[in-house]
Homo-oligomer: A and B are copies of this chain.
Amino acid sequence: MATKNNFEPQWINKAPKKGSFRSIFKYGDPNGFKHPNTKLLDELKQKFNLSDEDFKKKETTGNELVDLNVESKLSIAQVEKFIEICGKENVSSKEYERLKFSSGKTIEEAMQLRVGVVNKITDLVVHPRTKIEISEIVKYCDQHKIPVYVYGGGSSVNFGFYPEKGGITLVLSTHLNKIVKFNELNQTATIEAGIMGPAFEELLNNAPKYYGSKHEFTCGHFPQSFEYSTVGGWFVTLGSGQQSSYYGDAGDLVLGVEMISPSGTITTKNYPATATGPKILDIIKGSEGTLGIVVELTWKIFRHQPKNRQYFSFIFPTWEDAVNASREISQGEFGMPAVFRISDAEETHHGLKLYGIEDTIFDKLMKARGFKPMQRCLFLGTADGDKQFAKNIKSKVKTICKKNGAMNLTSYPVKKWEPGRYKDPYLREDLMDYGVLIDTLETSVNWDNLHEVHQKCRNFIKSRPDTICMTHASHFYEQGTNLYFIFIIKENDIKAYREFQEGILDQIEKSGGSLSHHHGVGRMIAKWMPKHLGENQMNVLRALKQHFDPNNIMNPGEQLGL
């Protein structure tokens, strides 16, 4: 067992070198870091049987400069055309740029880039300035059968914009990042698809200043990738934020869109509800770039009332107790918590370390009252909305949790969790420097198969020797929830890693979970789609694809299993 000492690995604390591979795969802010704390490091050492020595020399860093020589399949005339449409400064054929905008945030890509392995990259990076330019680009690409990929914020964890067929990659966030229309009466903001989360939220929070509105607003959507993803990306991948139990998933939050496709432009209307046949908006939801390019969205906005927010945390004797309480809350018809998150025993074990609860007065109290490590389960929650409404939720949650054997941990743990909630992905680079991989897969379940899916997937993950598996549920509905598996392993063989990942996806599918709750499909889980949805449903998707994109230029190559 690792002994406690003052040793700390030399975590990288500087922004990656300009032009390096690391500058491409590193998550988020180049100057953003979150190092594993001592408790976590001790756990890892113990788990993987490592010593301080193993954390003295980095296995890989990806600090090498990108130096590729990959030919472009586009002709000079074609490149000229894109320059003509978007201007020279908005078109790049440099290899570094091409690699950067071809790379998402899967572990597999990071593993490869760390050792300089590059697969397919886009032929040209284009930063369109207007939707008219996008329309011209799509038309031209359709005529010349040039594949079109769209880069949102680059946080895809499933090869969602991987340029399988080459062609061009459009970067929407460079120019198409504004609120086009702010409508306080309707509580909507019409935005260009490339706007990033923080910019959008800042404008809404300060709407009185920017738009002369009476109220401040919030977008209500806070995925872990919030800081590095675009609103258009949230929608087309059916994302889900950390407060979704109250605000809804990204698919629920969009009232209307404009999408440019080879078969023409669709502009749906912004009615709050209609009965005029199947809604084209619903077809665009989750289309992941395969049908066309969403260029504009009308987003439902909410009052920004942080003063009303209620915080609460509980510890349950077991996972079953936490699940039972969560179901009662979800079906209680008193409104839903915003943050609503239960961790299974193993995640609780690590979470208590990570949020600094271990060895505090809370920890002592928990132990004294018989909440045993590796059995007890943490519940974190907040309530938003009107103050009385939020207070009533807190009071009901408290009653239900107590009824299910929980102890009140006050607001302390959730307030410890909240400020760091976007930071956990930063741990990844530090750990990978020493060959430790941290990755996630996720599913949705109904209440009646939650335990089966959890147990089977967890059993599979844990069947691999020396593997940490933490699970939480964090998006709740009357009819069920999601399960989010975080696994940490020591591995440097890509093939072995991929096999392990595929094994987990197999388990998710076989045990009856959904293939994805909110990560989307991309290319990573594409091959499970026909079995999961059935051929008849796949045929509907294929028919839509054929209609919108007969020449297969929109995000072609296995995306969505098409």
Contact = CB atoms under 8 A, between A and B. Distances in A.
A273 B448 contact: no
A271 B305 CA distance: 31
Nearest to A264: B536
A396 B541 CA distance: 45
Given A280-B533, A540-B266, A514 B274 contact: yes
B447 A186 contact: yes
Contacts of A561: 277
13 contacts: A187-B331, A187-B479, A240-B273, A249-B273, A266-B536, A269-B514, A272-B446, A272-B478, A272-B480, A274-B516, A276-B529, A279-B285, A280-B533
Given A186-B479, A477-B272, A385 B303 contact: no
A543 B536 contact: no
A232 B249 CA distance: 26
A273 B515 CA distance: 11
A482 interface: yes
A547 B543 contact: yes
Interface residues of A, number: 91
Given A255-B479, A388-B395, 9 more contacts: A237-B275, A271-B446, A271-B514, A272-B444, A272-B477, A273-B517, A275-B517, A277-B287, A279-B285
Interface stretch (A99-107, A147-155, A332-340, A350-358): A332-340
Interface in A381-415: 384-386, 388-389, 392, 395-396
Which of A278, A286, A480, A529 is packed against the most chain B CB atoms within 10 Å?
Answer: A278
A274 B444 contact: yes
Interface string A252-267: 0001000000011111
Nearest to A393: B389
A274 B547 contact: no
A239 interface: yes
Interface in A468-485: 475, 477-482
B480 A271 contact: yes
A221 interface: no
Copies of this chain per assembly: 2
A481 B273 CA distance: 8
A92 interface: no
Interface stretch (A52-60, A81-89, A200-208, A518-526): A518-526
Contacts of A519: 275
A521 B277 contact: yes
A185 interface: yes
Contacts of A119: none
Interface string A497-533: 0000000000000000011111111000000010011
A302 B334 CA distance: 12
Contact of A282 (B249, B278, B535, B547): B278
B514 A276 contact: yes
A183 B446 CA distance: 11
A349 interface: no
A533 B276 contact: yes
A333 B303 contact: yes
A284 interface: yes
A419 interface: no
